[in-house]
Structure 1
Amino acid sequence: MAKKRSGSAIVEKAGLLAVEKACNDQDLIWRDLLQEDVGVDGTIEVCLGDFPTGKIVGAQVKSGMSYVNGDREDQFKFYARPADLDYWLQLSIHLFLFVYHPEDDQVYWHHVTNYVPDDEGQTSPSTHIVISKENKIDEAFSRYLITLFALEVYDADRLTLLSDEMAATTISVGHGEAAVTISALDLFVGGLWGLCSKVQFHASILLQGIRKHVISRGKDAPIAYTFSRGEIYPFVVKYVRLLTDHGLAKIDIDDVNDSLYRKMEQPTFIAPLTTNGRALVDFLRTRGHADVHDNQFFTLSLVPAVQIEVYATFDESKGEEAFGPYTDVLAIRFNQYLDYYEVQHLARTKNGESTQVRASQIMYFNEMIEYLDRMLTKTPKDRVLLRYLDHPCTPLISWLENWYGEKQLFHIDDLATKTNSDQIGFHDELVSIMSGVGAMTAQEPHLPDFPIRSLFNGEFLNCDSKILSRR
């Protein structure tokens, strides 16, 4: 019986040849890996004209319609095994996935190292990557590789297109008169840090953008902005992709994905700007963006944010003595730069003579509001007192205002003041600079005693002072 050649081998070889030919047409150096293949089929070296640069990326090639799912005119899905994706993301070089589409007779690519999933179902065994059919091995691909290694600085025309794209990538939050539109450009400018050599991101930067818009209106305003995953995450993903696709900052994508899809939280990062990132900063300055400056401070301190007091009864006919005895006190501290909270839940003991600690732990935002929602859901809202100790335009206070339902107006003067976190961050940075030259002694910033022991109903928290003073 004659030996028959495998049809899949023919298709696989066709894919490798298609990638090699396309690379050769773009003056890119393709090299097969003839040794053991455990997830990388070859490498591509970037060239500038006739000169190789020594900048190399890895390539994994898949061929055949079995890898093309949900085929459309503009895109299709490639389903990756989690083990393969994990391996690709752990590589020390950039890895590109190439899929040969036999019916189109075309090779399409996706930059796996900068892979950020499109939805929440990406941690399942059927993890998929959406591959755009605009991504071909062409001149645009060569430019992308050059940008990836900062081998070419964007000129004024490219920076104009980029800044326009960032300004057009927006999200609208709030409703009615409180509605505010924030752009990816707002996030970039608002996150500049370290003498504009780095860009940082945390949830509060989004709020700071909202706050600027509210202040510019010059009148009192309600603060009731929601931050649901369905609304916020697609915008955050688009922003991160703009930073990575244009090589503006050196972002740890693994850490971003860990936040988005394991912790189920918004990512937090401080990333050094690349050559093009710094070029964008200079370009924006020349175009009259007066807010393009280092407007961020940084502190590791947990700052008192909110004290929630829950009372057993409420009788509005009694005037100032409306609240009955307290049942629970939640003291919440916040670090806006790291996006985490310390939640201390104190509760009256059964005999009513002292206070016990029901919970005391560090939480991320979504975890915390789920805890608050469970704890407060059956409590009449007129028995809950919210004592805000920080700027009202923070994620937690925005959520509490939305939860409470009564859209109170915050005075414009209160909205225009700096947050406590900003002030403490300024203190930390000033001390770190001045103490280094012997101008002052390094010391921790002063934080007020927290929780507040004098409750609104006149009672006094009877609890171990060591617990209450813990930071």
Structure 2
Amino acid sequence: MGSNRFNTIEREGVNAVERAFLDIGWIFREQPIVDVGIDAQVEVCIDGKPTGQLIAIQIKSGSSWFSEKVKNGFLYRGSITHLEYWKSYSLPVIIALYKPEDHQVHWQAVQERYIETTRKGWKIIVPFDQNINESSIPKLLKLASAYIVDAMLPAVPYCIHTQEIVTQLAEIHKVDLQETGAWFQLEHKDKYHLPLNIETMGYGLISVRHLNYDGEGLNREVVFDPSIIFFTQYEDPRGDWDHWVPVSMTQYDFCLGVKHFVCASVEENGLVVLDKTLQKDIASFAENWARILRQNGWTKYGQKSKKLKHAVKSNNSNSADG
């Protein structure tokens, strides 16, 4: 927001963002000390109760931020210094643009999937129709929540980044993840990366796995390293039901063989957590893996492949059953 925190337009913008979050019942806290591009934090409240889930906000005010338009929104350009700081920040970060002419606040999440690098920095589209109001609550909740806590269940970690990149890959390659038995396999343009296989398994389960080989010649077998199965229909306290949470993970050690870890099971009444600590560890692993997949450019360089279809199918039940 610049060095002068008391600029009239900037102050108007901060007040507008505060009002917008207060209107949806969340707690707004302006940063008392100028941070590197972080002007405020907002805390999620559910049914009037603070949750401890936070979002950091960079606020930009004034007409100049709306001068560059593309088909779907306003184009925001920033410095690499700010971007690297926000990407390493301990909280999710959003950009909030305040337009004084109509008092609207538009926002966008600072996430890899929305960012495009340029010669001088980077740019991101802030959608025309994405304002801070009740319609944005589901998106903001997903962004804020590393954990969704139900009073009747233990804290359940769900995997935002994994859900985002797998869903995006399915959209790119025209695969319906709602269809049981749907699957697709990708090979990276850079053959250094292991093939990536994604398959729906029924009962709201999806497997995401890298394919590798063990042995040579006729004895060579397809193995999965890693393979994570997610339950994709976890319902949080607000009634949103499409969160992804890990159920099991398989890893392959060329000396010790297959290692299988089960942290939850899917029963008739929903998800049953068997090992809360293990589930948290698998979720952390999955989210780091998802970030690596995005950094390695799978959305751009992943090419659909028909190889290993039968090998994948024959190993599927072994991986899922544990």
Q: Which bracket does the TM-score occupy, shorter chain normalised?
A: 0.5 to 0.7
Q: What secondary structure, in the 3-state scheme, does the structure 1 residue paired with 2:113 have?
A: coil
What's the counterpart of residue 175 of structure 2? 182
- The match for 1:133 among 121, 128, 132 is 128
Go from structure 1 to structure 2 and tell me whether the alpha carbon gap of 1:117 and 1:53 turns closer, same or farther (over 3 Å shift).
closer
Map Cα deviations across residues 409-460 of structure 1 (whole Å, 9 max, x no partner). xxxxxx9x713x665x679969xx6xxxxxxxxxxxxxxxxxxxxxxxxxxx
- Contact kept, 8 Å, 2:226 with 2:251, in 1: the verdict is no
Q: Determine the structure 2 residue equivalent to 1:200.
A: 208
Distance 1:7 1:59 in 2: 15
Alpha-carbon distance, 1:196 to partner: 6.9
**Hey, what does 2:32 align to over in structure 1?**
34
Query: How far apart in 2 are the matches of 1:146 and 1:11?
Result: 29
Q: Which amino acid aligns with 1:418?
A: H
Report deviation, 1:71: 2.7
Compute the displacement of 1:38 (Å).
Answer: 1.4
1:38 alignment partner, SS class = coil
Aligned equivalents of 2:72, 2:253: Cα separation in 1? 46
Which secondary structure does the structure 1 equivalent of 2:175 belong to?
A: strand
Alignment deviations for residues 188-207 of structure 1 (CA, whole Å, 9 cap, x no partner): 95335899766426699xxx
Aligned position for 1:418? 310
Aligned pairs for 1:42-441 (under 5 A) are: 42-71=40-69, 74-112=72-110, 114-117=111-114, 122=117, 124-148=119-143, 149=145, 151=148, 170=171, 182-183=175-176, 185=178, 190=183, 191=198, 199-200=207-208, 273=230, 277-278=233-234, 393-394=306-307, 418-419=310-311
Which residue in the other structure is 1:22 paired with?
Answer: 20
- CA distance, structure 2, for counterparts of residue 123 and residue 37 of structure 1: 25
Normalising by structure 2, report the TM-score.
Answer: 0.52
CA distance in 2, matches of 1:18, 1:90: 27
Is the helix fraction higher in 1 or 2? 1
1:182, distance to aligned residue in structure 2 (A): 3.1
Q: Does the residue aligned with 1:89 lie in a helix, a strand or coil? A: helix
For normalisation by structure 1, the TM-score amounts to 0.37
The answer to whether the Cα contact below 8 Å between 1:99 and 1:109 also exists between their aligned partners in 2 is yes
Question: Contact 1:78–1:131 (CA<8 Å) still a contact in 2?
Answer: yes
1:78-104 CA-to-partner distances (Å, cap 9, x unmatched) read 001111111111111111111112334
Identity fraction in percent = 21
2:106 and 2:51 map into 1 onto residues whose CA distance is 24
Counterpart Cα distance in 2 of 1:422 and 1:192 = 10
- In structure 1, runs of 5+ residues without a counterpart are 1-5, 154-165, 173-180, 205-267, 285-293, 302-336, 339-363, 370-391, 395-414, 434-471
Structure number with higher strand proportion: 2
Residue type at the aligned position of 2:310: K
- Match of 1:34, SS state, is coil
| Runs (5+) with no aligned partner, structure 2 | 151-166, 184-197, 213-224, 255-288, 291-297
Instruction: Name the residue aligned to 1:162.
Output: none
Relative to 1, partners in 2 of residues 1:14 and 1:73: Cα closer, same or farther, differing over 3 Å? Answer: farther
Distance 1:68 1:7, change over 3 A: farther
Q: 1:20 to 1:125 in 2, by over 3 A?
A: same
Q: 2:269 maps to which residue? A: none
The structure with more radius of gyration:
1
CA contact (8 A) 1:67 1:79 kept: no
Output the CA distance in 2 between the equivalents of 1:115 and 1:57: 16
The alignment partner of 1:141 has SS state of helix
